[in-house]
A and B are shown apart, each in its own frame.
Chain A
Amino acid sequence: MFYREAGQFKASYREDQQIFPIRQDRIGIVAAIVFFFLVVPLIANQYWLQAILTPVLIFSLAALGLNILTGYAGQLSLGSAAFMAVGAFGTYNFMLRMDGIPFLVALVLGGLCAAVVGILFGLPSLRIKGFYLAVATLAAQFFIVWVLVKFGWFSNHSTSGVITAQHVEILGYTFDSPLSKYLLTLAVVVVFALLAKNMVRSATGRKWMAVRDMDVAAEVIGIRLMGTKLQAFAISSFYCGVAGALYAYMYLGTVEPEGFNLDLSFKILFMIIIGGVGSILGSFIGAAFIVLLPVFLNVAMHTSLGEFIPANIAANLELIIFGGMIVFFLIVEPHGLARLWQIAKEKLRIWPFPH
């Protein structure tokens, strides 16, 4: 009834190629942005800002990065966390070693470091595919973390590579409070999400998807596999790198290389599986889901429900539920929660009439 595109005629290709062609979607996006920028700061408390919203946004960005590589370009990576680490340590070193460098510049440079490393570890994708490649990305995961721990230069010679984020100041304004950190994170994530949306709906995204769906046919119509795959690796790693830097500067404050371990990589992979492989919106939904689930379980365990569950099981409930959900989603809805949202929208278009 409310979500219907009837009557919205496109008179030009320009109109048909807007970022959100359906008017209700445009309204929805603007409303969401207004809500998160203006309303949330008024209603959310410190805990929500610091422990939920900011990490959800950061993980959304990382999931977006992985989604570009895996969901759009079809190259499975198990090393996202390592690229986050490169971004975090890159940004740290630019902040440390270049006096007066603006934070946002250091952030982008950190992301670029991750992009370069991403290209290096993407090189095997030119010769191997599928799970061979997935296993090869584990090399990046282990190698990068090892390098960051072993070579003290990266962490300014602190023990076991721990780095503490410097103060962030932009135009004389210090980003110390949870609210300011949340808003900065939100701004960065919104900008990068819109850029990603533009990329995937244009020729760049079409090339990625062509390589994903059928690489031989892509090559035959003139798409260079090498350039396209490496580009996806670079952009994906850039996104992960920026997310990693935000993870250090806007969320944890202090991070060590071991914090960017295989478990974190898996977590990001789970975000896109649950949220939706090949969906920008899905990256956000998945991140929110994965961050909120443990919080929710924790709350549930402290109510009367917790008494009925044996301690052993309770301690491992998170593992069991995560694992179970992944299997469940892959079987029942391989396109994740984002697809459910899309189905709901399609239903809404014809509601209240069934046909």
Chain B
Amino acid sequence: MTFFFEVLIGGLLSGVLYALVALGFVLIFKASGVFNFAQGAMVFFAALTFVGFTEVLPGWTGLEEGGSAVFWLAFVLALGAMIVLGIATEKVVLRPLVNQPPITLFMATIGLTFLVEGIAQGLWGAAVRGLSLGIEDEPVMWILDRFEMIISKFDVIAAAVALVLFVLLAALFQYTKVGRALRAVADDHQAALSVGIPLKHIWAIVWGVAGFVALVAGLIWGARNGVQFALTFTALKALPVLILGGFTSVPGAILGGLIIGASEKLGEVYIGPYMGGGIDSWFPYMLALLFLLVRPEGLFGEKHIDRV
């Protein structure tokens, strides 16, 4: 039973990180109505830009290599780059495609995925980089002593950071003027414009926030698995989460992430061995699909009625 909980908790913790990536999708979808397939590429871009800056900054500025000054400066610069990337995407890709069917926009973001990956590697090279956030990937001692479970300290801290981020964002959307404007925009662009909400500012803010989320996700995933092309696959992990939670719901993304994370790990441990292992590539998708067949609107989505 201890083993079961160990797997479950490990799964839930990585689920929080899936949710973090999924959150990036949800933010963009709410604001621009676009399913941004390039979110994974943006996570990769963010992490690579951050690592790239930590490499070149000491040479440019004379700051101490690996110091916290370099870390924060690189963080700010990477965030800046993400905002620029987001605004450029909005201006160059999405604005000209306004009024096109959503599926066209979706395909455009697949193109964008390749573009962003190419640019990221073109700027910083394709070599795999290590990234240390100063948190060891070791078992949390008191849990090990108390419950005899191995729970990674890194996972716990990463999940805690993600949760803090969720709370902050929820507060932002619920209680601030910007948040209210954003919700209005998500509901109806035209109507939001007509009551004087500056759509362009809102978009810029959302892309900025989404860039920030992507950066945090990129740092956490990068610190865990190395900053490499495979980071783009985090998006593929987040997609089943989105199907499950719905494209527009932040709580849906979180709950979906937890469900996917937990069931993926449990499935791998308890079902995988009977099927030759390696089932994590498709298991979350199948799970999400089966769920959709029962409830097409997702966990929190509203039932859609066609008006004719």
Contact, chains A and B (beta carbon distance below 8 A): yes
Q: How many residues of B contact A (CB 8 A)?
A: 50
A150–B274 Cα distance when bound, in Å, is 11
A324–B239 Cα distance when bound, in Å, is 23
**Would B243 and A150 count as touching, CB distance under 8 A?**
no
Partner-A contacts on B (CB < 8 A): 35, 92-93, 96-97, 100, 102-104, 106-108, 110-119, 121-126, 236, 239-240, 242-243, 247, 275-279, 281-282, 285-286, 288-289, 292-293, 296, 306, 308
A143–B283 Cα distance when bound, in Å, is 8
**Would A128 and B117 count as touching, CB distance under 8 A?**
no
A-B contact pairs, 28 of them (CB 8 A): A76-B106, A124-B289, A124-B292, A130-B102, A130-B103, A132-B296, A134-B103, A139-B288, A143-B282, A146-B282, A150-B276, A217-B308, A266-B114, A312-B123, A312-B124, A317-B118, A319-B118, A319-B121, A322-B111, A323-B115, A324-B111, A324-B115, A326-B110, A326-B114, A327-B111, A330-B108, A330-B111, A331-B96
Chain A nearest CB from B244 CB (Å) reads 10
CB contacts (< 8 Å) of A321 on chain B: these are 118
Chain A nearest CB from B229 CB (Å) reads 10
Identify the closest chain B residue to A328 (Cβ): B111
**Would B118 and A146 count as touching, CB distance under 8 A?**
no
Identify the closest chain B residue to A334 (Cβ): B104
A127 contacts the other chain (CB 8 A): yes
Interface residues of A in 23-78 (CB under 8 A from B): 76
Interface centre among A132, A321, A322 (most CB of B within 10 A): A132
**Would A316 and B296 count as touching, CB distance under 8 A?**
no
A76–B282 Cα distance when bound, in Å, is 19
Leading 3 A-B pairs by shortest Cβ distance: A326-B111, A323-B115, A323-B114
Give the residue of B97, B243, B306 whose beta carbon is less than 8 angstroms from that of A330. B97
Further 12 A-B residue pairs, CB within 8 A, beyond A150-B278, A316-B118, A323-B117? A131-B35, A131-B106, A132-B292, A135-B242, A136-B243, A136-B285, A143-B286, A150-B277, A319-B115, A326-B108, A327-B92, A330-B111
**Would B289 and A139 count as touching, CB distance under 8 A?**
yes
A242 contacts the other chain (CB 8 A): no
**Would A331 and B108 count as touching, CB distance under 8 A?**
yes
Give the residue of A130, A220, A269, A320 whose beta carbon is less than 8 angstroms from that of B110. A269
Chain A nearest CB from B127 CB (Å) reads 10
Give the residue of B92, B107, B116, B296 whose beta carbon is less than 8 angstroms from that of A128. B296
- A290-333 toward B: CB 8 Å interface, digit per residue (1/0)? 00000000000000000000101101111111111111001100
The verdict on A138 contacting B107 (CB below 8 Å), with A150-B278, A319-B121 known, is no
A262–B285 Cα distance when bound, in Å, is 14
**Would A320 and B118 count as touching, CB distance under 8 A?**
yes
A149–B282 Cα distance when bound, in Å, is 13
CB contacts (< 8 Å) of A319 on chain B: these are 114-115, 117-118, 121
A157–B239 Cα distance when bound, in Å, is 33
- A137-161 toward B: CB 8 Å interface, digit per residue (1/0)? 0110011011001110000000000
Give the residue of A124, A132, A315, A325 whose beta carbon is less than 8 angstroms from that of B111. A325
The verdict on A323 contacting B112 (CB below 8 Å), with A146-B279, A146-B282, A150-B276 known, is yes
Chain A nearest CB from B97 CB (Å) reads 6
CB contacts (< 8 Å) of A216 on chain B: these are 306, 308
CB contacts (< 8 Å) of A132 on chain B: these are 243, 292, 296
**Would B115 and A131 count as touching, CB distance under 8 A?**
no
Chain A nearest CB from B253 CB (Å) reads 14
**Would A327 and B275 count as touching, CB distance under 8 A?**
no
Chain A nearest CB from B107 CB (Å) reads 6
**Would B114 and A320 count as touching, CB distance under 8 A?**
yes
A163–B219 Cα distance when bound, in Å, is 40
The verdict on A312 contacting B278 (CB below 8 Å), with A128-B292, A266-B110, A331-B97 known, is no
A232 contacts the other chain (CB 8 A): no
The verdict on A142 contacting B125 (CB below 8 Å), with A131-B106, A135-B239, A326-B108 known, is no
Identify the closest chain A residue to B106 (Cβ): A131
Chain B nearest CB from A233 CB (Å) reads 15
**Would B289 and A327 count as touching, CB distance under 8 A?**
no
Interface centre among A128, A135, A331 (most CB of B within 10 A): A135
A273 contacts the other chain (CB 8 A): yes
